[in-house]
């Protein structure tokens, strides 16, 4: 073969080989190392969360009955386990001197009431004396006018006789006699004035006696009130000789025996050594006590939140119920909410005070924004999620509420240093997010 042609073929072959290798290098692209993730947004969900807590059964009320008076137990009428009615006599205490004292006060009240009646009669007498004195005063004042008229008449007669004596018509002795009549009439006037003064003094005295008689009535009535108060006090003490049931319930403790001497108990019954004569428990309804953890406390509403009471001692019997009341405030030491459930006799068949139960509280949250539980991760005391933004996983603190193990209610996210409300438009990475790091590049898997 011609050397020139051979050289040309070799050159073409070299060019072809060079062109083929270059094409292979250009077609080989670097493989991506970013993890593939799935993204979701918060959606409206109805979340039902069951919170189970231990509880215990107690009577609705429990009352320890002590004696208010000292004496000997005459008799007792009930024993432990016996049902009693409100006001039923449980025991009687024998205190004879107290009965005598009360009877004495009853008689004293009657006597003091008679003294009031007597004082009222004296008021009537004094009132009559005042009227009589006023009448005598009026009579004396009338006599003054009468005698003054006599003086005027005789003085006129003296003037007339004086003229006639001057004319020698009448004898002078007649004038002298008439002048004596004037003096006599004047004396009568003076006597009448004195009588008026005496009668006025009689009126004042009678009025004073009337005032005193009225005061005596008021004093007698006040004494009756004092005596009645003392009679009521002793009557109350006599009533205390009967120990009665404060309400319908069951006697759970009896420390009373016939002939026992009991002493009156005062003050705080919890700080003294004497035992109660009886303990009565109000068992309709019964109360179930439990503590609800702080994180669920805000969702427990009295009269609305449903619950289930399970009694282990009664073969796991379950009783549907509703939360009756809560303490509203959180206990500082336990960080729990004191919660009570009332059960009537028709509900709690078999339950007794002192029993141990489990209570399941149902927290119902309709139409709340929620994320899958597997999209959240805990770090310390803070919950986090990873938002997908600009191709990266952004570690974001998030506030959560109720969870049913599948979905968790979310409320706020901390974005750019500020806590903002969750809107439902946030893109959140879901799956095994424990291996992600903040700011790591990720790729969203195709749906």
What integer pLDDT is reported at residue 274 of this predicted model?
Answer: 59
For CATH 2.40.50, list the domain ranges present in the chain.
67-89+241-276
Contacts by 148-156 with C-beta closer than 8 Å and gap 24+?
Answer: 148/189, 150/185, 150/188, 150/189, 151/182, 151/185, 151/186, 151/189, 153/185, 154/178, 154/181, 154/182, 154/185, 155/182
Residues of the chain with CATH 2.40.30.170: 282-363
Q: Domain 67-89+241-276: which CATH class?
A: mainly beta
Is residue 215 within 8 A of residue 149, CB to CB? The reply is no
- When pLDDT is averaged across residues 386-395 and rounded to a whole number, the result is 93
pLDDT band at 321 (very low <50, low <70, confident <90, very high): very high
CA distance 124 to 116: 13
d(CA 250, CA 61): 11
Residue 14 reports pLDDT greater than 60: no
Question: What are the tokens at 136?
Answer: 């005598």
Q: What stretch(es) of the chain map to CATH 2.40.420.20? A: 37-47+369-444
pLDDT tens for each residue of 24-47: 444 444 555 788 899 999 999 999
Query: pLDDT by residue (tens digit) across 181-192?
Result: 777 878 877 887
Range with lowest mean pLDDT among 7-21, 305-319, 356-370: 7-21
| Confidence tier at 138 by pLDDT (50, 70, 90) | confident
- Does 155 score more than 70 pLDDT? yes
As a whole number, mean pLDDT of residues 387-411 equals 93
Strands in 217-345 per DSSP E: 242-244, 249-254, 261-262, 278-293, 306-311, 317-322, 325-330, 336-343
User: 50 pLDDT band (50/70/90 cuts)?
Assistant: very high
Taking residues 225-234, report their average pLDDT. Answer: 91
**Stretch among 54-63, 235-244, 323-332 having the lowest mean pLDDT:** 235-244
pLDDT of residue 79: 93
Helices (H) and strands (E) in the chain, counts: 4, 22
Query: In the structure, what pLDDT confidence band is assigned to residue 335 with cuts at 50, 70 and 90?
Result: very high
Identify the CATH number of the domain defined by range 37-47+369-444: 2.40.420.20
Classified as helix, coil or strand, 160 is helix
Span(s) in the chain for CATH 1.10.287.620: 98-239
- For residue 158, what pLDDT band results from cuts at 50, 70 and 90? confident
CATH architecture of 98-239: Orthogonal Bundle (1.10)
Would you state the CATH architecture of domain 282-363? Beta Barrel (2.40)
Asked if pLDDT for residue 4 goes beyond 60, the answer is no
Task: Write the DSSP assignment of 380-433 as a string of letters.
Answer: TTEEEEEEEETTEEEEEEEEEEEE-SSEEEEEEEEETTEEEE--S---EEES--
Q: 96-166 vs 172-239: helix axis angle to the nearest 10?
A: 170
More confident residue, 289 or 214: 289
Q: Give the per-residue pLDDT at 447.
A: 66
Which of residues 107 and 13 earns the better pLDDT score?
107
Residue 270: pLDDT over 70: no
């Amino acid at each position: 073969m011609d050397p020139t042609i051979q050289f040309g073929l070799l050159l073409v072959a070299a060019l072809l080989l060079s062109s083929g290798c270059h094409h292979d290098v250009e077609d080989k692209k670097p493989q991506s190392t970013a993890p593939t993730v799935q993204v979701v947004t918060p959606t409206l969900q109805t979340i039902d969360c069951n919170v189970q807590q231990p509880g215990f059964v107690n009577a609705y009320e429990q009352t320890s009955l002590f004696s208010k008076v000292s004496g000997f137990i005459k008799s007792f009428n009930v024993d432990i386990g016996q049902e009693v009615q409100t006001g039923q006599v449980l025991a009687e205490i024998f205190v004879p001197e107290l009965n005598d004292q009360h009877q004495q006060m009853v008689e004293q009240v009657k006597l003091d009431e008679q003294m009031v009646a007597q004082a009222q009669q004296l008021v009537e007498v004094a009132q009559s004396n005042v009227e009589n004195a006023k009448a005598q005063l009026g009579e004396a004042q009338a006599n003054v006018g009468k005698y003054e008229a006599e003086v005027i008449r005789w003085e006129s007669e003296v003037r007339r006789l004086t003229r006639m004596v001057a004319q020698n018509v009448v004898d002078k002795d007649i004038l002298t006699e008439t002048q004596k009549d004037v003096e006599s009439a004047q004396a009568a006037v003076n006597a009448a004035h004195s009588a008026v003064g005496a009668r006025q003094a009689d009126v004042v005295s009678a009025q004073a006696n009337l005032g005193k008689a009225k005061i005596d009535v008021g004093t007698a009535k006040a004494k009756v009130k004092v005596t009645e108060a003392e009679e009521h006090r002793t009557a109350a003490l006599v009533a205390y000789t009967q120990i009665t049931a404060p309400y319908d319930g069951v006697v759970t403790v009896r420390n009373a025996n016939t002939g026992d001497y009991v002493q009156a108990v005062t003050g705080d019954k919890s700080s003294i050594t004497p035992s109660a004569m009886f303990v009565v428990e109000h068992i309709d309804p019964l109360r179930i006590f439990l503590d609800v953890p702080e994180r669920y406390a805000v969702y427990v509403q009295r009269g609305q939140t449903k619950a289930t009471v399970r009694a282990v001692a009664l073969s796991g019997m379950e009783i549907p119920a509703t939360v009756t009341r809560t303490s509203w405030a959180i206990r500082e030491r336990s960080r729990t909410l004191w919660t009570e459930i009332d059960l009537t006799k028709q509900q709690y068949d078999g339950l007794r005070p002192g029993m141990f139960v489990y209570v399941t509280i149902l927290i119902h949250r309709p139409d709340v924004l929620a994320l899958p539980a597997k999209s959240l991760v805990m770090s310390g005391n803070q919950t986090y999620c990873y938002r997908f933004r600009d191709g990266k996983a952004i570690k974001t603190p998030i506030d959560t509420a109720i969870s049913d193990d599948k979905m968790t209610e979310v409320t706020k996210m901390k974005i750019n240093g500020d806590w903002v409300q969750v809107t439902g438009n946030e893109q959140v990475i879901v799956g095994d997010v424990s291996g992600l790091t903040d700011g790591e590049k990720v790729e969203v898997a195709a749906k």
